[in-house]
């Protein structure tokens, strides 16, 4: 078997009790109830670095799910992404305990002004030694909009208009405000930085006005590594302009078309196809034999909560799934005139419309791979054959999913070449792209500071 090029591996998490495990925090081998302790996250970060993962990815939400049965009570009762803590605070702790692992922070463009957000990300980039990424999102929960000073969630078009204005403001702060050699640290003259090489950005956009200068000096990456997920046409256009890593949906057999569409979007905005790294999503249940893997999967599903599943997908699909009888056949729900648009699309993909709504939802929530280490490795090869550059590994039991992967799947991937044996040096961007800064084709680069003549005597 010829050796394959290494993929990017990200560990998909959130600073919450329950995420993709759908209530399986009750599993006897789960440590998820320790999620409020730094020790839990330190152990996970060390495990991921031992396994040569590239990124610990933190998803985030800014409101409890409240569409299911018109209330946030079920989300709070089951712990489905509630309570949720701030991942920005834990990242410096984890960076101190690791040397190479990158950290991706999700923050939506409604969350805080671009001026203070730029400072926060620059601070994280400095403290991590250039190992931080920003997952750019526009929010999908109406409650988040209400909690952030809006009357509900702004329209889809407005959110992406805001996002475009927002990124241009922070690009100016990160790339243009301070020249590379602005910091001089001249002890003899008592000058730390040359004010002639620090500039206002004078950004005046349709939504944000930011004059600057940026509050921090240039950091290892300047602009943090940029993640994004996109589904709509507007979202794919935004991602094509800005993202360095993009997530694609589906499975290894259906992902190729989506991968091609995402790369084509980048090319349409003057970027190179290879400037965008595309990650698929993978969950797994591992056994030493197929029989053991199926048994462990059945046990896992017993610990999952149907209520948690319905809470999460009600939020994802903007439809109260509590209004559909769980024992109703899928076909009957599809035939009903008031079935939600996204719900109809998702259930329409169910192969057997005679199964119950409960069975369908449990199946949708458990689209993970069940098998031996060799079968998991083969699945990863299939993803690579579909054109992805990496995978976002979702835990089903934490941290057991990652322990199984590192101890049993990783050795096979290293042998095949699909996973790197050792880290390469440098920042997160250097590790994943080979370059310390964004490529010249990226829109942020047009903001890059140009050298100026220093004042003879700065004061």
- Interaxial angle between packed helices 341-348 and 357-365, expressed in degrees from 0 to 180 and rounded to the nearest 10: 80
Structure tokens of 455?
Answer: 């004042």
Own/partner pairs, 317-324, CB within 8 angstroms, 24+ separation: 317/342, 317/343, 317/346, 318/67, 318/140, 318/342, 319/67, 319/343, 320/67, 320/68, 320/69, 320/70, 321/68, 321/361, 322/68, 322/69, 324/357
305 labeled part of a ligand binding site:
no
> How far, in Å, CA of 183 to CA of 126, rounded?
14
**SS3 assignment for 364-401:** HHCCCEEECHHHHHHHHHHHHHCCCCEEEEECCCCCHH
Backbone φ and ψ of 321, nearest 5°: -75, -10
- CA geometry: angle 8, 12, 15, nearest 5 deg: 145
Backbone φ and ψ of 354, nearest 5°: -85, -15
CA atoms within 13 A on the CB side of 398: 29
78 labeled part of a ligand binding site:
no
248 labeled part of a ligand binding site:
no
Backbone φ and ψ of 187, nearest 5°: -65, -35
232 labeled part of a ligand binding site:
yes
- In the block, tokens 């208009």 appear at 161
Check: CB of residue 400 under 8 Å from CB of residue 21.
no
60 labeled part of a ligand binding site:
yes
Give Cα 318 distance to the centre of its chain.
Answer: 21
Residues 6 or more apart in contact with residue 175 via CB below 8 angstroms: 222, 223, 444, 445, 447, 448, 449
Residues 6 or more apart in contact with residue 189 via CB below 8 angstroms: none
Q: Which of 198, 87, 180, 164 is nearest to 132 (CA)?
A: 87
> How far, in Å, CA of 122 to CA of 447, rounded?
16
Backbone φ and ψ of 212, nearest 5°: 85, -170
> How far, in Å, CA of 303 to CA of 291, rounded?
19
Check: CB of residue 428 under 8 Å from CB of residue 130.
yes
Q: Which residue ranges make up the annotated binding site?
A: 60, 106, 156, 160, 232
Q: Which residue ranges make up the annotated binding site for FMN?
A: 60, 106, 156, 160, 232
């Amino acid at each position: 078997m010829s050796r394959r090029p290494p993929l990017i591996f990200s560990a998909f998490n959130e600073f919450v009790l329950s995420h993709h495990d759908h209530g399986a925090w009750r599993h006897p081998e789960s440590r998820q109830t320790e999620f409020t302790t730094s020790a839990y996250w330190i152990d996970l970060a060390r495990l991921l670095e031992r396994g040569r993962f590239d990124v610990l990815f933190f998803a985030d939400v800014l409101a409890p799910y409240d569409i299911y049965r018109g209330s946030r009570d079920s989300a709070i009762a089951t712990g489905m992404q509630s309570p949720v803590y701030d991942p920005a605070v834990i990242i410096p702790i984890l960076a101190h305990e690791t040397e190479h692992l990158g950290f991706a922070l999700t923050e939506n463009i409604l969350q805080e002004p671009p001026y203070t957000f730029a400072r926060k990300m620059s601070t994280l980039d400095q403290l991590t030694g250039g190992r931080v990424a920003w997952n750019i999102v526009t929010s999908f929960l109406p409650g988040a909009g209400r909690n952030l000073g809006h009357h509900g969630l702004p329209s889809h078009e407005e959110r992406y208009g805001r996002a475009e204005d927002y990124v241009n403001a922070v690009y100016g702060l990160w790339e243009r405000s301070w020249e590379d050699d602005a910091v001089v640290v001249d002890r003899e003259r008592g000058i730390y930085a040359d004010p002639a090489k620090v500039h206002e950005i004078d950004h005046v956009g349709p939504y944000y006005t930011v004059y600057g200068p940026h509050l921090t000096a240039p950091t290892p990456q300047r602009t943090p590594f940029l993640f994004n997920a996109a589904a709509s046409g507007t979202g794919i256009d935004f991602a094509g302009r800005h993202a360095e890593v993009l997530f694609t949906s589906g499975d290894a057999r259906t992902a190729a078309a989506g991968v091609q569409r995402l790369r084509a979007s980048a090319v349409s905005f003057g970027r190179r196809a290879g400037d965008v790294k595309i990650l698929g999503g993978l969950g797994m249940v591992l056994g030493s034999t197929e029989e053991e893997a199926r048994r462990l999967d059945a046990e896992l599903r017993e610990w999952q909560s149907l209520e948690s599943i319905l809470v999460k997908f009600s939020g994802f699909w903007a439809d109260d799934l509590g209004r559909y009888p769980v024992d109703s056949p899928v076909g009957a729900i599809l035939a009903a005139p008031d079935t939600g648009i996204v719900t109809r699309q998702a259930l329409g993909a169910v192969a057997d419309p005679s199964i119950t709504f409960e069975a369908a939802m449990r199946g949708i929530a458990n689209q993970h791979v069940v098998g031996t280490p060799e079968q998991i490795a083969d699945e990863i090869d299939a993803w690579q054959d579909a054109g992805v550059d990496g995978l976002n590994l979702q835990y089903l039991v934490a941290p057991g999913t990652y322990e199984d992967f590192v101890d049993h799947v990783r050795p096979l991937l290293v042998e095949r070449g699909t996973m790197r044996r050792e880290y390469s040096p440098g920042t997160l961007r250097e590790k994943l792209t080979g370059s310390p800064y964004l490529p010249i084709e990226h829109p942020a680069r047009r903001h890059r500071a140009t050298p100026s003549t220093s004042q003879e005597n700065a004061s």
